[in-house]
A = this chain, B = another copy of it.
Amino acid sequence: MDSNNDWRQRLYVMIFQTDTVAGRRFDRLLLLIILASLVIVILDSIDEVHQNYAKVLAYIEWGFTLIFAIEYGLRLYCSPKPLRYAFSFYGLVDLLAIVPGILALYYSDAQYLLIIRIIRMLRIFRVLKLSPYLKQANYLMSALRGSKQKIVVFLVSVCTLVTVFGTLMYVIEGPEHGFTSIPKGIYWAIVTLTTVGFGDIVPKTPLGQVISSLVMITGYSIIAVPTGIFTAELANAMRGDQLQHDCPVCKKSSHEPNAAFCSRCGNGLYSKVE
């Protein structure tokens, strides 16, 4: 057996899998490094910190970029199918975690792209006890998927409402009250409909305040729509653990996961071949 190949194999297990102690330890260490590199980027954006420690932080950032580059190299090296990894979702994210660090040498603003490393944090679900979380995320996902069309209908309605109300307010309030253009009016309508209410632009005319009241009550009420959609779908998805099989006699379509007989008519769900 080729000892080099053997070493590569062991590296692969450690880096790509989480079943072994070494694998889990590696993943945990990696998460800590990612987190640390994010903290550095965030700290560097604070003015007082930047003025005093700009150089130190830059060195540390380069250090992290180096570490991630080495890690990326190792992943390419030990992966049995390097190209497949390189073009997988995780492979691209791993690459994206390095590039801005190199770009930052030339364009200082590029460093903020480093925040993209946050996507790597998705691996956190691999370190936590994996499966139950992913199963729950699956529930949420399948609920979202099931409600996709309803949500499109909802979002199209919201966009229409917001455009109409934004234009109305632009015509009624006019530039002298901060509604300087229709896009500004639409921005205000979004701020108001979503009940955020910054207060940077507010209606001043009585008619404008009446329309605003309408927008607010609309926004306050229709939040029920996405909530209702999602709740109904989630309840569906959670009930979906059931056995989906039409009873041959009474057509009852969902049963207990390990049912042998229909609980409504008592007939066998699967007739034995006799």
Known: A231-B224, A256-B263, A269-B265. Contact between A158 and B196, CB under 8 A? no
Chain B residue at smallest Cβ distance from A198: B199
Q: How large is the interface on A (under 10, 10 to 19, 20 to 34, 35 or more residues)?
A: 35 or more
A contacts with B: majority SS: helix
Copies in the complex: 4
**A118 B197 Cβ-Cβ under 8 A:** no
Does A209 reach chain B (CB closer than 8 Å)? Answer: yes
**A164 B227 Cβ-Cβ under 8 A:** no
**B258 A265 Cβ-Cβ under 8 A:** no
Measured between alpha carbons, how far is A208 from B135 in the docked complex, in Å?
36
**B133 A152 Cβ-Cβ under 8 A:** yes
**B227 A249 Cβ-Cβ under 8 A:** no
Interface centre among A118, A154, A220 (most CB of B within 10 A): A220
Residues on the B chain within 8 Å of A186, using CB? 42, 213
Known: A259-B264, A261-B265. Contact between A228 and B223, CB under 8 A? no
Known: A194-B216, A212-B187. Contact between A132 and B160, CB under 8 A? no
**A235 B232 Cβ-Cβ under 8 A:** yes
Measured between alpha carbons, how far is A272 from B184 in the docked complex, in Å?
67
A47 partner, pick from B137, B181, B220, beta carbons under 8 A: B181
**A183 B42 Cβ-Cβ under 8 A:** yes
Residues on the B chain within 8 Å of A224, using CB? 226-227, 229-231
Measured between alpha carbons, how far is A186 from B257 in the docked complex, in Å?
45
Does A97 reach chain B (CB closer than 8 Å)? Answer: no
11 A-B pairs, CB-CB below 8 angstroms? A41-B167, A140-B150, A194-B219, A196-B197, A197-B198, A199-B199, A219-B220, A224-B226, A232-B238, A255-B263, A261-B263
Q: A118-B163, A235-B235, A267-B272 are in contact. List 10 more A-B contacts (CB 8 A).
A: A42-B167, A45-B167, A133-B152, A151-B221, A194-B216, A195-B197, A227-B227, A227-B228, A228-B231, A229-B234
A-B pairs with lowest CB-CB distance, top 5 = A261-B266, A260-B260, A258-B258, A265-B270, A259-B263
